[in-house]
Amino acid sequence: MSALLIENAYVAPVAGPEIRRGYVLVEGDRIAALGPMSEVPGAAGAERIDGTGCLVTPGLVNTHHHLYQWASQGLAQDATLFEWLVTLYPVWAAMDAEVVHGAATAGLGHLALSGCTTSSDHHYLFPRGRGDLLAAEIDAARAVGLRFHPARGSMDRGRSRGGLPPDEVVEPLDAILDATAEAVDTYHDPSFSSKLRIAVAPCSPFSVSSDLMTAAAALARSKGVRLHTHLAETLDEEELCLEQTGVRPVDHMEKLGWLGEDVWVAHAVHLSDADIDRFAATGTGSAHCPSSNGRLGAGVARVSEMLRRGANVGLGVDGSASAELTGLAGEMRQALLFQRALNGPTALTARQALELAPLGGARNLGRGHELGPLEPGKLADVALWRVDGPFASAVEAPVCALVLATAQPPLARLLVGGETVVEDGELRTVPHDTAGEAGARAHRRLTRLARERGVPVTPEPRRAP
């Protein structure tokens, strides 16, 4: 069994007290021990990493993303969510497996460089005849080396049925259920050390029928996998839900059996007090995506209130096309700033913001017993941040230097199950430049395919009135 010993680091286990000069011992893919250097055990034959000047945290967990959108960044720059979707659906309809693989390679590499060790991905567009899009992103995740939780998404309500997406990108209900069941049967690994798990994820109340939501929940629960969807992201969504169902989004989801410990939703911006209490009572989790919500003008989720009332909150980057070049570490800072801007300087502390990604994220994905805090027996997903640079060294509080600084401290090492994915700020699985170029090629290919279909693709923002 391979072993690795991080020494002389500032250790922030997240679930316990911080250790100013500590160690973390990794054996195989698990954390074997951690504590102060005065108690460091013998570790003959272990690879030793000098953590002097570094902060050690759990690897961060991203619980909402759309990796294919790496190929469509910079479009519809001044749009609301609905305007943005209407603009981009025709572009995305041109994607194929090659686009998805390149976008996922770049997106996951970028996440790794921001301290992310586990990422979900919500892929919900499957244009016919474009190859195996789910397999393409799974292959990319294996190459980059992150734990991957793809959520097999779906849409069955096109414009002809009162939905938002064009009919060409939706699927029949039976085909969705068959493809989703096949994805679970083919890929889902429930083992403790799993690097690949599947969730069932109809897209959103405004693009999915009630029949699909109900059937998807039944399918997921029969397979023992988790459920994911978008919910309460914008006021437009709330107005549409009231118009079409007579109730607000959370009420609608409750009627469909979509609240529970096996459910996490993206955004949850527009929640009432009663909604938050129902999330807490049922164990329903949420993925807070502050940069995307701000970019689209959707609003600010009531994260501070949700945490006070006992609802679980994790972090999500969301699609790269609504949070351009955003890394997961920066979302901790954004979450803190948004809450303080609305509710004052004690609304969310730096340590609470740090907890959102590993702890809230692990719970969202149903992996609280495997991931989350640095503890013996947990999987060795560990981030080692360099906080002793020529400017960062002026900040004596390492957690503050990570969470509050605009510039993310570079990664000295990122471990996933004890294996090195990032070292000295460079990817060590997929070559650094290769990952970036894969994303650029995906962008060029998607742009070309869309234009061949007569779809205009322009990054120009609309003019202010």
- Domains of the chain, with CATH numbers? 3-58+378-427 (2.30.40.10), 60-364 (3.20.20.140)
Strand extents, DSSP E, 136-257: 147-154, 199-202, 227-231
pLDDT class for 458, splitting at 50, 70, 90?
confident
SS3 10: strand
CA distance 174 to 44: 57
pLDDT class for 463, splitting at 50, 70, 90?
low
Q: Which of 464, 465, 396, 457 is nearest to 76 (CA)?
A: 457
Predicted confidence at residue 462, as pLDDT, reads 59
What letter does residue 424 receive in the DSSP assignment?
T
What letter does residue 379 receive in the DSSP assignment?
B
Predicted confidence at residue 392, as pLDDT, reads 81
Predicted confidence at residue 461, as pLDDT, reads 62
Q: Which of 165, 53, 163, 90 is nearest to 410 (CA)?
A: 53
Q: Is the pLDDT of residue 166 over 90?
A: no
pTM of the full predicted structure?
0.97
pLDDT class for 394, splitting at 50, 70, 90?
confident
Residues 68-120: tens digit of each pLDDT: 999 999 999 999 999 999 999 999 999 999 999 999 999 999 999 999 999 99
pLDDT class for 389, splitting at 50, 70, 90?
confident
Q: State how far Cα 313 lies from the chain centre.
A: 12
Which CA distances in Å does 450 have to 91, 99, 410, 445, 461? 5, 12, 37, 8, 19
Predicted confidence at residue 95, as pLDDT, reads 97
Residue type, position 409, single letter: P
Q: Determine what percent of the chain is predicted with pLDDT higher than 70.
A: 98
Length of the chain: 465
Q: Are 83 and 296 within 8 A, CB to CB?
A: no
Q: Are 71 and 99 within 8 A, CB to CB?
A: yes
Residue for token pair 């234009």: 451
SS3 151: strand
Instruction: Give the H or E element holding residue 253.
Output: helix 249-255
What's the rounded mean pLDDT across residues 239-244? 90
Buried b (16+ CB within 10 A) or exposed e, 422-439: beeeebbbbeeeebbebb
Q: Count of CB atoms within 10 A of residue 444's CB?
A: 13
Which CA distances in Å does 176 have to 156, 171, 223, 404? 8, 6, 15, 43
Residues 176-223: tens digit of each pLDDT: 999 999 999 999 999 999 999 999 999 998 789 999 999 999 999 999
Phi and psi at residue 35, in whole multiples of 5°? 165, -170
Q: What is the mean pLDDT of the chain?
A: 95
Residues 110-132: tens digit of each pLDDT: 999 999 999 999 999 999 999 99
CA distance 29 to 195: 11
Pairing between β-strand 3-11 and β-strand 19-27 as defined by DSSP bridges: antiparallel
Predicted confidence at residue 316, as pLDDT, reads 98
Q: State how far Cα 457 lies from the chain centre.
A: 27
Q: Is the pLDDT of residue 419 over 70?
A: yes
Q: Which of 104, 85, 107 is nearest to 96 (CA)?
A: 104
Predicted confidence at residue 42, as pLDDT, reads 85
**Torsion angle defined by CA atoms of residues 76, 77, 81 and 82, in that order, rounded to the nearest 10 degrees:** -30
Q: Count of CB atoms within 10 A of residue 84's CB?
A: 20
Q: Is the pLDDT of residue 1 over 60?
A: yes
Q: Is the pLDDT of residue 464 over 70?
A: no
pLDDT class for 34, splitting at 50, 70, 90?
very high
Q: Is the pLDDT of residue 354 over 80?
A: yes
Predicted confidence at residue 289, as pLDDT, reads 98
Q: Are 322 and 296 within 8 A, CB to CB?
A: yes
CA distance 232 to 248: 9
Predicted confidence at residue 460, as pLDDT, reads 65
Q: Which of 249, 291, 294 is nearest to 270 (CA)?
A: 249
Predicted confidence at residue 129, as pLDDT, reads 92
Which CA distances in Å does 98 have to 95, 138, 308, 378, 443? 8, 13, 44, 35, 11
